[in-house]
Amino acid sequence: MSVSDTLCILRHEHASLDILFRRHQEMLVSHAWARAARLLTRYQERLTVHIRLEEKFLLPYCNNDGSGSSPRWGSHVYRTEHRKLEELVRAVIVRLTSARRRGVTPAMLIDLLDKERTLKHVVQHHHEREEKGLFTELHERLPLETRMELSKELLRVP
Ligand SMILES: [Fe+2]
Ligand SMILES: [Fe+2]
Protein backbone atom coordinates (compact mmCIF):
# COMPACT_ATOMS: atom_id res chain seq x y z
CA MET A 1 0.00 0.00 0.00
CA SER A 2 1.47 3.41 -0.97
CA VAL A 3 1.70 6.36 1.39
CA SER A 4 -1.12 8.09 -0.52
CA ASP A 5 -3.32 5.00 -0.14
CA THR A 6 -2.67 4.86 3.60
CA LEU A 7 -3.48 8.53 4.12
CA CYS A 8 -6.42 8.20 1.75
CA ILE A 9 -7.96 5.53 4.01
CA LEU A 10 -7.67 7.87 7.00
CA ARG A 11 -9.28 10.66 4.95
CA HIS A 12 -12.01 8.24 3.92
CA GLU A 13 -12.59 7.36 7.58
CA HIS A 14 -13.39 11.02 8.25
CA ALA A 15 -16.16 10.82 5.65
CA SER A 16 -17.43 7.47 7.05
CA LEU A 17 -17.53 8.89 10.57
CA ASP A 18 -19.60 11.83 9.32
CA ILE A 19 -22.04 9.47 7.57
CA LEU A 20 -22.36 7.35 10.72
CA PHE A 21 -23.10 10.42 12.82
CA ARG A 22 -25.68 11.60 10.31
CA ARG A 23 -27.43 8.19 10.49
CA HIS A 24 -27.48 8.52 14.28
CA GLN A 25 -29.13 11.96 13.97
CA GLU A 26 -31.66 10.64 11.44
CA MET A 27 -32.65 8.03 14.03
CA LEU A 28 -32.94 10.74 16.69
CA VAL A 29 -35.33 12.86 14.65
CA SER A 30 -37.28 9.68 13.83
CA HIS A 31 -37.57 9.02 17.60
CA ALA A 32 -35.86 5.63 17.14
CA TRP A 33 -33.99 6.04 20.43
CA ALA A 34 -32.44 2.57 20.73
CA ARG A 35 -31.05 2.66 17.17
CA ALA A 36 -29.85 6.23 17.66
CA ALA A 37 -28.01 5.14 20.82
CA ARG A 38 -26.45 2.09 19.11
CA LEU A 39 -25.20 4.23 16.22
CA LEU A 40 -23.76 6.77 18.63
CA THR A 41 -21.89 4.03 20.51
CA ARG A 42 -20.55 2.70 17.21
CA TYR A 43 -19.46 6.23 16.31
CA GLN A 44 -17.60 6.52 19.61
CA GLU A 45 -15.86 3.16 19.06
CA ARG A 46 -14.77 4.01 15.53
CA LEU A 47 -13.61 7.49 16.48
CA THR A 48 -11.58 6.00 19.35
CA VAL A 49 -9.80 3.57 17.01
CA HIS A 50 -9.17 6.34 14.45
CA ILE A 51 -7.68 8.62 17.12
CA ARG A 52 -5.54 5.81 18.55
CA LEU A 53 -4.02 5.09 15.12
CA GLU A 54 -3.31 8.76 14.41
CA GLU A 55 -1.67 9.23 17.81
CA LYS A 56 0.38 6.05 17.56
CA PHE A 57 1.55 6.32 13.95
CA LEU A 58 1.26 9.92 12.75
CA LEU A 59 1.68 12.36 15.63
CA PRO A 60 5.26 11.29 16.50
CA TYR A 61 6.26 12.62 13.05
CA CYS A 62 4.53 15.97 13.10
CA ASN A 63 6.84 17.90 15.40
CA ASN A 64 9.68 20.07 14.17
CA ASP A 65 12.69 17.74 14.12
CA GLY A 66 14.98 20.32 12.54
CA SER A 67 14.95 18.62 9.14
CA GLY A 68 12.83 19.94 6.31
CA SER A 69 9.94 22.34 6.70
CA SER A 70 8.24 22.74 10.05
CA PRO A 71 4.71 21.38 10.41
CA ARG A 72 1.84 23.81 10.38
CA TRP A 73 0.51 22.53 13.71
CA GLY A 74 2.40 20.55 16.37
CA SER A 75 1.18 17.23 17.78
CA HIS A 76 -0.17 18.94 20.94
CA VAL A 77 -2.77 20.77 18.82
CA TYR A 78 -4.13 17.49 17.41
CA ARG A 79 -3.96 15.77 20.81
CA THR A 80 -5.85 18.59 22.52
CA GLU A 81 -8.58 18.39 19.88
CA HIS A 82 -8.77 14.59 20.26
CA ARG A 83 -9.34 14.93 24.02
CA LYS A 84 -12.03 17.56 23.35
CA LEU A 85 -13.76 15.26 20.82
CA GLU A 86 -13.70 12.31 23.22
CA GLU A 87 -15.16 14.49 25.97
CA LEU A 88 -17.94 15.83 23.73
CA VAL A 89 -18.91 12.35 22.50
CA ARG A 90 -19.02 11.08 26.09
CA ALA A 91 -21.20 14.05 27.07
CA VAL A 92 -23.77 13.43 24.31
CA ILE A 93 -23.90 9.72 25.20
CA VAL A 94 -24.56 10.58 28.85
CA ARG A 95 -27.25 13.09 27.80
CA LEU A 96 -29.01 10.61 25.49
CA THR A 97 -28.85 7.81 28.09
CA SER A 98 -30.31 10.04 30.77
CA ALA A 99 -33.06 11.38 28.44
CA ARG A 100 -34.04 7.82 27.47
CA ARG A 101 -34.23 6.78 31.10
CA ARG A 102 -36.60 9.67 31.91
CA GLY A 103 -38.55 9.50 28.62
CA VAL A 104 -37.36 11.79 25.83
CA THR A 105 -39.28 15.07 25.64
CA PRO A 106 -39.08 17.57 22.73
CA ALA A 107 -37.07 19.92 24.98
CA MET A 108 -34.55 17.17 25.77
CA LEU A 109 -34.21 16.38 22.08
CA ILE A 110 -33.53 20.03 21.25
CA ASP A 111 -30.88 20.22 24.02
CA LEU A 112 -29.24 17.06 22.72
CA LEU A 113 -29.18 18.31 19.13
CA ASP A 114 -27.63 21.59 20.32
CA LYS A 115 -24.88 19.68 22.11
CA GLU A 116 -24.36 17.55 19.00
CA ARG A 117 -24.07 20.68 16.86
CA THR A 118 -21.04 21.69 18.95
CA LEU A 119 -19.54 18.22 18.51
CA LYS A 120 -20.09 18.34 14.74
CA HIS A 121 -18.47 21.76 14.56
CA VAL A 122 -15.35 20.59 16.45
CA VAL A 123 -15.15 17.39 14.35
CA GLN A 124 -15.39 19.31 11.09
CA HIS A 125 -12.74 21.78 12.19
CA HIS A 126 -10.44 18.95 13.32
CA HIS A 127 -10.84 16.95 10.10
CA GLU A 128 -10.07 20.04 8.01
CA ARG A 129 -6.96 20.73 10.07
CA GLU A 130 -5.69 17.15 9.66
CA GLU A 131 -6.39 17.09 5.95
CA LYS A 132 -4.66 20.45 5.37
CA GLY A 133 -1.83 19.85 7.85
CA LEU A 134 -1.05 16.37 9.16
CA PHE A 135 -1.98 14.21 6.16
CA THR A 136 -0.48 16.55 3.58
CA GLU A 137 2.80 17.04 5.49
CA LEU A 138 3.28 13.39 6.39
CA HIS A 139 3.05 12.41 2.77
CA GLU A 140 6.80 12.96 2.63
CA ARG A 141 7.81 12.35 6.25
CA LEU A 142 6.27 9.01 7.19
CA PRO A 143 8.93 6.26 7.34
CA LEU A 144 8.25 3.12 5.32
CA GLU A 145 8.07 0.78 8.34
CA THR A 146 5.57 3.06 10.14
CA ARG A 147 3.44 3.25 7.02
CA MET A 148 3.48 -0.56 6.69
CA GLU A 149 2.42 -1.03 10.32
CA LEU A 150 -0.33 1.57 9.99
CA SER A 151 -1.60 -0.04 6.77
CA LYS A 152 -1.79 -3.42 8.52
CA GLU A 153 -3.82 -1.92 11.39
CA LEU A 154 -6.10 -0.03 9.01
CA LEU A 155 -6.92 -3.22 7.13
CA ARG A 156 -7.91 -4.81 10.45
CA VAL A 157 -10.46 -2.05 11.26
CA PRO A 158 -13.97 -3.49 10.67
FE1 LIG B 1 -7.64 13.19 14.56
FE1 LIG C 1 -8.49 12.00 11.69
> Measured in angstroms, how far is the CA atom of residue 89 from the centroid of ligand 2?
15
Range of the structural domain that residue 115 is part of: 3-156
**Could you say which residues of the chain have pLDDT below 70?**
1-3, 65-68
Report the b/e string of 97-119 with b at 16+ CB within 10 A: eebeeeebeeebbeebeebbeeb
Find the helix or strand (DSSP H, E) in which 81 lies. helix 75-102
For the chain, the helix, strand and coil percentages under 3-state DSSP, each to the nearest 5: 85, 0, 15
Distance CA 24, CA 18 (A): 10
Counting ligands in written order, the one closest to the CA of 15 is 2
Residue 133, burial from CB neighbour count under 10 angstroms (0-12, 13-18, 19+): middle
Ligand nearest to the CA of 18: 2
Q: How far apart are CA 84 and CA 67, in angstroms?
A: 31
pLDDT at 67: 63
Please state, rounded to an integer, the average pLDDT across all residues of the chain. Answer: 92
Looking at residue 139, its pLDDT comes to 79
Q: For the domain that residue 40 is a member of, what is the CATH number?
A: 1.20.120.520
Predicted pLDDT at 158: 72
Residue 54 CA to ligand 2 centre (angstroms): 7
Q: For the chain, how many structural domains are there in total? A: 1
CA of 127 to the centre of ligand 2 (A): 6
Q: Tell me what pLDDT residue 104 has.
A: 96
Between the CA of 157 and the centroid of ligand 1 the distance, in Å, is 16
Q: 73 CA distance to ligand 2 centroid (A)?
A: 14
pLDDT tens for residues 7-45? 888 999 999 999 999 999 999 999 999 999 999 999 999
